[in-house]
Structures are given as structure tokens and as C-alpha cells.
Chain A
Amino acid sequence: MVADAGAKTGGGLADRGSPDPSVGRPDCRRPPSHGRLPEGRLPPGPTCRVDLSQPLEFSFLGRPVTGFAGDTVASALYASGVRIFGRSLKYHRPRGLYSMEGESSNTLMAIDKVPNECAETTELKAGMSVRAQNVRGDPQTDRFAFIDRFDRMMPAGFYYRLFHRPYRLWPLFQNGLRRMAGTGVLDPRRGLEEGIRGEGGIRVEGGIEVEGARMGSDVRAERYLNAEVAIVGGGAAGMSAALAAAERGLRVCLFERRPWLGGHLVWRVRDFEGEPLHRRAEKLAVRLRAAENVKVFTSSPVTGVWGENLVTGFTSGAEGDLFRECHWECRAKTVVVAAGCMERPLVFNHNDRPGVMQVGAVWRLARTYAVLPGGVAIFSVGDDLSLEAAADLADLGVKIRAVADAREAVRQDAALVTALEERGIPVLAGWAASRVMGRKQVKGCELGALKGEASRRFGCDLVVANAGMQPRIGALATVGARLAYCGHTHTYQPVELPGGVFAAGSMTGLRDPRAIEASGRLAGERAVESCGGSAPGPDESLPEPAPGCDIRHGPDIGRGAKAFVDFDEDGTYKNVVESAAQGFDVPELAKRFGGFGLGPGQYRVAGQNLAMIMADLRGDPVETATPTTVRPPLVPPSLATLAGPGHDVHKRTPLHGELAARGAIFRRAGPWLRPRYFSEDTSCRKEIRNVRRNVGILDSSPLGKFRIFGPDALKALQRVYISDMRKAPRGHCKYSAMCNDMGQLVDDGVVIREGENEYYFTTSSGRAGSTVEWFRYHTRYDRWDYNLVNLTDVLGSLNIAGPNARRVLERVTDDEVSNEVLPYLGCRRITVADGVEARCLRLGFVGELSFELHVPSSYCQFVWDLVVEAGADFGIRPFGLEAQYCLRAEKGHVIIGAESEARVTLTDIGMGWLWDCGDTAAKKVGAPALRACEKQPGRMRLVGFRVDEGSGSPRDGAVVVDGAKIVGYVCTTRRSEALGWQYGMAMVREGVAVRGGRTHIRQEETPGRGESCSATVVPTPFYDPGGRRLRA
């Protein structure tokens, strides 16, 4: 599918994807194996994409149905006689095929239990299970069909005026409304058991009947492309543009939503310059695939063109793919939009009946899928392509009783009119369909003159209708082109394009194949020029766009019948009138009030018609009509496709495997996974006790570790740290904190002077990733000469803590680590195991004798093995973050975020002693805020408390109350084995923060089940207040 330059074969996206039948398509003309045409099928012609010799069995409503390779779900169902594909949202009206492009919810079906799949465009696969949606019982005899008769009670916005009086009844109505809401059915438990996030490796799906295959355990791919030129649309214009750009050596990506290239030429057999049109498209496709630098993506709808030419979309794979859909994003320098046209729906009475279809749908059923669309047809159309279709379909055996053309005769292609008349088909210029007869299936059609009273009725089983063509403006609109109504083509055309965006092809109003190709070439050359390539040759002159059709709706609109402007939410012409009457008389308001273009079809079905009709109702010229905003995605991608492989790329410490083997229960901490517990006991009693009594070991590798050096290093430290860093002595850990400009605590750690203009410092693990950013931000105007190196990942960190810590350490190093040489807050470099250099920091976060070893990450496992082996006699065992959390809380040490928040400053949480208020010249970050709030009354404060014995046992988050007022909350509280009582820290209003004061704590996790207790404000630290243990 992708013609990568140098693409190899062997499982890549490069050679997978939908086979492109435009190049060599012998199979599809093979007759069915048993020699007889299947029911409902035409003899396969030169443009047929269905292989009638390859039947595919699937089921509809549990009944077996046979389709053929190359069918879509819809074409196979239609060929087998299915006419009602589902029921409409509000009125439960029967709905059938309409555009074969999936433009409305009419043919959204449940396929293999996935709701809202588009039957018109989904390729048929054997074994599919297909069901109709919004149906009670059989779609033929839907039990809610009666609602259709109550439309008079349901004018636009009726639900805002009903059901709320008296209010107590509203919940009943609300539940009733909810039951009627939505179309597809989703089982919310689906996918929970399937293990969708597989553990590595690609899963190749075996059989497609596998439940869950479409849920997408196989949907795992995403792809990012870079190109000079991205092309939206693989029709004649898009291909020509691609060739023009590729010839100049640019990288081109072309995206085509259909499974094949060629746009609307591929099903046209009309002769043009001596060969049928489809041959012309095929030749272009062959040239394109031979071109270098071009990647061609078929079955790849574009979901949006975003700012600065980012094109996004997805590729539907073919059977046997490793994945079903691949999300891609293409960053392009330029974009050529050649998205072609769609038919503007014709609004007329009962225009939603099964059997009313657009020209393209009928034509492609016959020409692409070899399906006989109907026996007797009436056409009501508004452009020449439709006239060509009528003639072609007549040749294929469809009896066409009449063709109404909304245009005046002078606007028609006379040759086509002649061709129709030669076939005995009357052409009624200035006429349009006014009404369809038949409920579940078209039985007849009334045509009426647009001027005057004349009308005629015909019996038929097919009504082929459109109001002319409208360009697929989605890609242009989403990228920010300014569009305006063009009074000549009666379409919205770009009048101003963003940089590097070009439009080409039939969407610009061109109809002549040669002109379409020329416009593509021109756009391709402009793109080359825009990329800085050589200027294009002299402008090929393009003909004027063909005149368009401005019909608003059929005659006799709304009289005793519903005429739909929007199929998805059953928005009728009458509803537009009603919306306007209630003041919602611009499209944006009417859209929201009446529900036009809010369903799966979005702006595509309702957009232009709503704007034109509203202009008429307001009495404004149609040029002033502003259509509703086009919003992406232009084609709806599934969440599985967008989510892609969902890799969970996170950080692991050098000891991850070791810790996992030791039963660690991991939690996410910023980008890291870290052990929280080492047993199911979340109170971590054993881990805590072991640190207090013996010795524990903590993997603290995520700790931020940095080197700062250079002539201005000290200045930078003075700026971001709140303490006076000039006082940091060599070989000593200077503990300090960083604040933000509001004086709030953002980080703490130690700084160690290691030499002249050379410092080593640590940050909390959560801040390690933004420390360089923080330093550089706060010194960005200063032009200071200092250098920072992030050593966080270079060095792992092992914290050996507990009364036996030194004895363990002494076993693995020959260096002196006594209290004299390495006292509390000391730091020195030691050698572990005769060869591994380590920084050894004497810190006391957990309140015991403790050493932090910073060793190169690659040696971490080695050093761990050694330490654990050496510590075995002393009962060394790992401890996790929860144990550390409790141990430090007993010491009253603050953890950022746990005992600090946005309302409090460094001084509020009792750490004001760190602040060096003298050095204003350093412009310390946060100093002015601390100064302002230092003595401010009424602030919140962090206090320690002791829960009064026997009064209760509050937990983190309980609130502190004073009478009827909440005056604070508990940040952290635990019952301590070492202390023998429950301690805690709380953030409280100033008045509460009185030492010895009694506070009331209340928690109520469940209404009515509140618990209260009392506590006494006590000083911190709770444990070892003199700090003897950590200085041992």
C-alpha cells in the first residue's frame, strides 16, 4: 500500500494494507463459480470490485447471508434484499442506504457487537455478525414505529417545554427520554476480561470470528509521517498533484479514504478522449505507484487538517493484517486538498424512505458492487454527472421513468439530455421530487415543477435524488480556510487559504476530467514552489467552474409529510421553521435548538441546506447565510485507533528487577515506578520496626542529583535556594528549600560544596525533571556563567538506615565512616568493594542513623547485593515509600504536597528558619512573598498533634472543626509503634495552632457515619525530639 522508496518486503505497513484493485483487476470479472448470477447481482462489468467467485458468509440478525469478496456490509445486505438497515433516532422511521459514503446514521449498524459501525463503507469479512440499531424487534416491524405519528407533539425544542411540570414527574420523563436516546448498544463490561493491554509483543489475530478481534487487541499501531506535500484525496486531481510534486523530488504522502485510487472516475465507463474514464484513472494510479518519494495510503480517511499543516487520519487494514486500523499524523510543509465532492441531499417530502438514494450510491451499487439497485427508478437531480449516471444505469437495465432536473434546461449538458431522450427517458428541467409514496419501501414518487403547479406521479421502487454537488470542504474548513458562498457554483468555496494549503479538483467546481487533472498538477507545482522549489511552468488555464444548482427543497415542502434536513436526529424542514419562529434563526442556534448536524453525519448532511433554508426564512440573500462550524474529526475514528499501542513508557530504577523479586508493590511517583510496600500489610509495621530497631535499605535512586559548576554557580544557587548558600561548607550537606514566587515550598534537598565553584545537590524525586528548567528560568536575564548536569539517572541511591547502618556500611568499605569522620550531615567520597566510587551522605530523613550511597547506576545491583549480604546478620531488609512516609512523619519532616499546599508559605509550615532574609541583592525567589506574609495575621499553619487516647482514630484528610466551622484538616496521621500513640500533622487556621490547645477532628467518609475525636497540639518532632538517634 505504501510505495516507500526502498521499502523492503517483510511484514511492514509498506506491503500491507488494502490491496489496490485499480492495478490489474482480473478476478473481479470472473463469473461466479457455478456459472449463474447470484440473486440481486448484475453481471460484473469492467469497473466491478466484487469477486462473485468468492462468496463470504455472514449473518444479519442471526440469519445467514452471503456476500462476496469486495463487498461492503451494505452492498452485500442490499444485494440480498435487505432494504431497512435501521430505525431513526426520534421517530423510529425505517431507514436504508443513502450515500454509500457513510454520511448519516441511517446505515450505522452493530457489527460483531461493536456499535455504530458504518455498513456503507465497512469491508465485508466472512463471519461478521451484523445487527440493525435502534430497533425493538425486527427492523421491518419495529415496536416503536408508532412514534412517527406523534410528531405534531414534538416540534423543535419540545422537550424544553414539556415534562417539567410538576417537577417531581421530571425524573420519570427523563428516564423515558433516556431509554429512547442513542442508537448503538455498548456493553460497558466488554473488554474488562480480555486483557487488552497485552504484555509486549504483537498479537496476530487468527480467525476473524474471534470475539474481541474488532475490539482491537490487534489495534496497536500509530505512525508519524513527515512530508513536503500531503495530499488529501486520491482522485485524478490528487494523483496529478502528487506526480507533479514527486517529479521535483519532494516527499509526498497521499491519503485516499476509499480502498482504491481514482475518485469518482473509477466507476464511470463513459468514453473520454478515446478511452473509458476509469481507464484514465487507472493509468494515473499506475504512474503514481511507480513514482519515487510517494507514499500512497488507501482506505485512509483524513480526520482533520490542523494548524500548520498537520494532517491526521487512520488507515483501515485488510483481512489478515496485524492491526485493523492505524492512526497516523503527517506533518507536511504543504497540503493539497483535492477531496472531491459529495451530493447535496435534496430536501423533499419523505426523502428518508428506504429506496431514496443519492446518485453515487445507486451508481456504485451497480458499477462497483454489481448489485441491481432497483427495477424502476425516478431521478430528481441537479447536475450533469447525475444525468450521465441515469443514462448508464438505464443501459444496465434499470428502468428509469423520468429524470427531474432542478436546473433550467440551459444549464444542462445537452449531449447528456439527448442521450437520455434517446433511451426514452423524459427529462423534466426545472422540476424536482415533491413526495415519496410507500412507508417501508418506495412505492412511487411525485415530481413537481419548481415554478407553477404542475406535477406527475410515477410508480417506482427507487428514487434517486440530489440537489447537485457540494464540495467536501471539511479539510479546508478545519485548517482555517475562509469559505464563502459562491453564487455561480452555489457551493461554499475557499476565498482565502492558509499558508501552504491549496485546493484542487472537482471540489473547486471543475467537472471536465482534463481540467481536474490540470488543477491538480497546478496545485502540486504551487506546493513545490511553496517548499522553495523551482517556480512552476506557465499557468495552465483552467476553465470556469461549472454552474451549480441552488434548489432549497422540493415542491410542496412539509405538507402532510416529513421532509428531512438531518437524518441523524430526525430534523425536518418544519423543525427549521419552528426553530426560526422561536428566535433560533441563525444556523448555529437552530443547530443546537432543533438538532441539525449534531449526529454522526455532523455538518455533512445538514450543513449547506440548513444555511440556505434559514437564509430564505429570514428573507436574507443566500450569500449571507453562514453555515455552522465544521468540526473535526471529519470521519469518526474509534477510540482504540486513536489510543494506538498505548505504551506505558515510564522510568525504573536500576534495582527494579531486584525489588520486584523481593515482593515490592509498586506505585507511580512522577515518571518512576517505586516500591510502596513490601507486603500486603499497608501499615508496614515490620518495615518500620526494622528501621527503628535494626537496619533497613531503601532504593532512593529517583532522588534528584545534580552537578553545578562555573564562575556563577553560587549566584544561581543563591537565587533559587532560600538559604544562604555562601555558608555551605565543604564536605557538609547544607539542607535547604526552594520556593516559588508566592513563597510556597516547591523543593527541598541538600547542597554540598565540592570544590571551587563546584557543587553537588539533591532535589526531591518529583522535582528532578524540572530542576534545570527552574534554575535557567529564574536566571534567564542574568547571563551568568554556570553549568548544570543532571546526574539523577547517572547515580543510583541506596539509603541504609537504622541503628545498625554503620556496621553494615563498614563491611563493604575500607574507608572510615565513623561519627568523627562522617558526622550527621557530613558527606564524603568512599570506595565500596575496592572499586566502586560512591558519595556517602549522612542524612536523617527517617530519624535514624542513616547513610545515603550515591553510586553509578550500572553498579547499583552489585552494591545492593553486597550491602544486603553484609547486612544479613543485622536483619537488613528493604523498606518502601509508605514506611519512609511514616518514619519521617514521626520526625515531623514535611513532604511537599503532603504537608504543604497552595495556601501556605514556607514560614506557615514551620520552615521559615531556612530563609536567609538578609541577602536581598541575590533576589531570592520567594523572598518578597515570605517577607510579606511572615507576620501576616490569620494565615494557616502546620501543627503537630497527638490524638487524645481513646477518643478515636482519625485518618489522613479528616477535618479540624471549631463549633460549626471547619478550621483545618489533617495532612498525615498514624499510630506509631515507637511512640505508643497516634500522632499527626494538620493544616489549621492560626487560632487553632496554639501549643497545648485542644482541637476537634471529624471525619465522615459516608454521610451519617461520622466519627469525631479530640487531639492536643504538640510540638514536632514527635520521635526523638533531641535528634540523638540520627546523630549516633
Chain B
Amino acid sequence: MIRGRGGEPLSTGPGDRIRFRRSPVAFPATPPETELRDGWTVVLRYEGEDDHPGPWLVDLSHRRRWDFQDRDIGAQTPMDLPVPERIGAVGVHGPLVINRLNRTQVAIWHLGDGDPPSTPPETGFTETTDGHCMLAFVGPGVPQALEHLTPLDLFDPARATPFLTQGPVLHVPCQIVTFAVDLVVMTFARGYGETFALAALESGAIEGLRPGGEESFRRAFA
């Protein structure tokens, strides 16, 4: 028996191995409860989470995501979802969220419960799950925590939630969806994941930001 660096059991024959997957983010906290899902080790809860009112930073990098592009995107229904008419608009359809990025492009996120759909065969789709780090800011105090990370106006009262913002957080270009005053989800290039998350926790600690498990996100998203 050989063990992988993360302690995953590896047998000697390739056929028997667990094809484990790694998130770009590893929080400096102890998870009492994890779940193995499609190769990802998903943290459901962190130690001491129940005694903390929030805000939490939740790693959702394992959630599946797609990029869909088409010149005539308004006429398309990728994954049977209506494409939001306005650029910057966000549609929530059950477990799926569709963000209108620009004239020709949408991003689709699987954020709800249940199994994610598989990638449709149309040319316009590219699965981008592995290209991003996805983080959620959950709980009371999210706006204050984010004030330490970005100059973007993520809580403009003039905009109806949910809405999309594309811009820099910690100087890294991000796609950010504001679902509510206590729920913001963002994606950015996977390579930044580790240092971004650490910086976010460091600056956000002033407002009580701590690592949270997927459960806290699921409660907020529901």
C-alpha cells in the first residue's frame, strides 16, 4: 500500500487507485467532518464553527462550473437555462446559477444540492471547474469583511440581488455574485487560490472572518 501526499490510500495497480482531486485551497483549520465527492475531499464543517456567528469563508472549488459562449447567446438555452437578458444579471434556477458576463458569454455554476449535470456536447461549452478557485463569503459581517479586500461596490443598494460584478478583489480579477447581504460567491483563476484565501482570512479576521464548511454555505444558499 502506498499513500499519497495527502494521506490518500494508493494501491500499486493504477486501476484500483482513488483518483483523488485537490482543491487549490487548504484552510489552516481542522475539519471534523469531510466527505469524499467525485475525488474531492469536501469539508462540511470546521471545528468550532457552531460557536462562531460568522462571517465564514467557504471553499467551493469542487462545485462544477462551465463557460458557454455563442455570438447569438440570447437565442440559446444552455443546459435549458434562460440566458439573462442584461449583462451583469444573474439567474438562479434550482441548483444552477447562470451569470451573463458580456455580449457573448455566460458562466454556469452548480451551487445547489444534488448531482451536477454533465457537460453538454455543444461546442460552446467548456468545463472550467478546474480553472477556478471558488469561494463563498457567508454570514453576518460579510460586507464589512469584503471592505478590507476590494474597492468594488458589491452592495450597491441600487442593484437588485442577485447580481454579478467583474473586477479585482485583492488585485485578482474575479467574477463575483452578490446573492444577499450575507452571501457572496466569487471565482478567480485557480493559481491564486492558496495565497488569495490566506490573504482574505488575514484581512478578514479583523471582522471575524473564519474558514467555514460547505454546510454553512448550503444553509445560506437555500
Contact = CB atoms under 8 A, between A and B. Distances in A.
Interface of A: 4, 6-8, 10-14, 200-202, 220-226, 249, 251, 322-323, 329, 331, 645, 647-654, 656-658, 661, 671-672, 702, 707, 709-710, 758, 785, 787, 789-795, 812, 833-836, 856-862, 865-866, 869
B202 A645 contact: yes
B150 interface: yes
A742 to B, nearest CB: 29
B70 to A, nearest CB: 8
A202 B205 contact: yes
Given A251-B157, A866-B14, A225 B39 contact: no
Contact of A649 (B39, B62, B171): B171
Nearest to B23: A858
A221 B203 contact: yes
Contacts of B153: 226, 331
A672 B147 contact: no
Contacts of A651: 189, 191-192, 195
Contact of A791 (B131, B147, B195): B131
A686 to B, nearest CB: 23
Interface in B1-59: 2, 4-6, 10, 14-15, 17, 19-24, 28, 39-40, 53
B124 to A, nearest CB: 7
**Interface hub of B61, B104, B153 (most chain A Cβ within 10 A):** B153
Given A329-B151, A793-B130, A857-B190, A200 B198 contact: yes
Nearest to B68: A787
Given A790-B131, A792-B191, A793-B191, 20 more contacts: A8-B53, A8-B208, A12-B207, A200-B28, A223-B147, A224-B151, A226-B153, A251-B157, A648-B195, A658-B5, A710-B71, A791-B126, A791-B131, A836-B19, A857-B131, A857-B190, A858-B22, A859-B21, A862-B20, A869-B2
B71 A865 contact: no
Nearest to A789: B126
Contacts of A858: 21-23, 39-40, 61-62, 129-130
Contacts of B110: none
Contacts of B206: 11-13, 202, 221, 322-323
B66 to A, nearest CB: 10
A12 B143 CA distance: 11
Contacts of B150: 224
Interface of B: 2, 4-6, 10, 14-15, 17, 19-24, 28, 39-40, 53, 61-62, 67, 69-71, 104-105, 123-124, 126-132, 140-141, 143-144, 147-153, 155-157, 170-172, 181, 189-196, 198-199, 201-203, 205-208
A654 B131 CA distance: 11
Contacts of A795: 130
A249 B71 CA distance: 41
Given A12-B208, A224-B150, A709 B202 contact: no
B69 A787 contact: yes
Contacts of B196: 649
B26 to A, nearest CB: 8
B21 A221 contact: no
Contact of B130 (A702, A834, A856): A856
B69 to A, nearest CB: 4
15 contacts: A4-B143, A8-B53, A12-B141, A12-B207, A13-B144, A249-B157, A251-B157, A329-B151, A789-B69, A793-B190, A794-B128, A836-B19, A857-B24, A857-B190, A859-B39
A869 B105 CA distance: 42
B202 A202 contact: yes
Contacts of B127: 794
Contacts of B61: 858
A201 B202 contact: yes
Nearest to A832: B14
A12 B144 contact: yes
Nearest to B144: A12
A153 B209 CA distance: 63
**Interface hub of B20, B130, B132, B151 (most chain A Cβ within 10 A):** B130
A812 B198 CA distance: 35
A225 B144 contact: no
Contact of A645 (B40, B152, B181, B203): B203
Contacts of B28: 200
A8 B131 contact: no
Nearest to B123: A709
B69 A6 contact: no
A657 B24 CA distance: 10
B4 A865 contact: yes
Given A834-B14, A866-B14, A793 B19 contact: no
**Interface hub of A223, A654, A793, A833 (most chain B Cβ within 10 A):** A793
Contacts of A8: 53, 140-141, 208
A11 B4 contact: no
A246 to B, nearest CB: 13
Nearest to B15: A834
Contacts of B148: 221-224
Contacts of A859: 19, 21-22, 39, 130
A224 B140 contact: no
A864 to B, nearest CB: 9
Nearest to A671: B191
Contacts of A834: 14-15
A201 B205 contact: yes
Contacts of B203: 220-222, 645, 647
A865 B132 CA distance: 22
Nearest to B61: A858
B194 A656 contact: yes
Given A650-B195, A861-B4, A7 B144 contact: yes
A1027 to B, nearest CB: 32
A671 B192 CA distance: 9
A223 B146 CA distance: 9
**Interface hub of B14, B67, B170, B198 (most chain A Cβ within 10 A):** B14
A789 B150 CA distance: 26
Given A12-B206, A200-B28, A202-B205, A793 B131 contact: yes
A795 B189 CA distance: 11
Contacts of A226: 151-153, 155-156
B195 A652 contact: yes
B19 A862 contact: yes
A911 B5 CA distance: 43
**Interface hub of B2, B40, B191 (most chain A Cβ within 10 A):** B191
B202 A707 contact: no
A570 B146 CA distance: 47
A836 B15 CA distance: 11
Contacts of B201: 200
Contacts of B22: 654, 858-862
A898 B153 CA distance: 42
A869 B157 CA distance: 56
Contacts of B170: 647, 649
Contacts of A11: 205-208
Contact of A331 (B67, B105, B151): B151
Contacts of B39: 858-859, 862
B5 A657 contact: yes
A672 B17 CA distance: 31
Contacts of B4: 861-862, 865
**Interface hub of A329, A653, A654, A856 (most chain B Cβ within 10 A):** A654
Nearest to A864: B5
Contacts of B141: 7-8, 10, 12
A654 B199 contact: no
A275 to B, nearest CB: 36
B208 to A, nearest CB: 5
Given A12-B206, A329-B151, A861 B5 contact: yes
A647 B195 contact: yes
A223 B22 CA distance: 32
Contacts of A792: 131, 189, 191
Contacts of A657: 5
Nearest to B202: A200
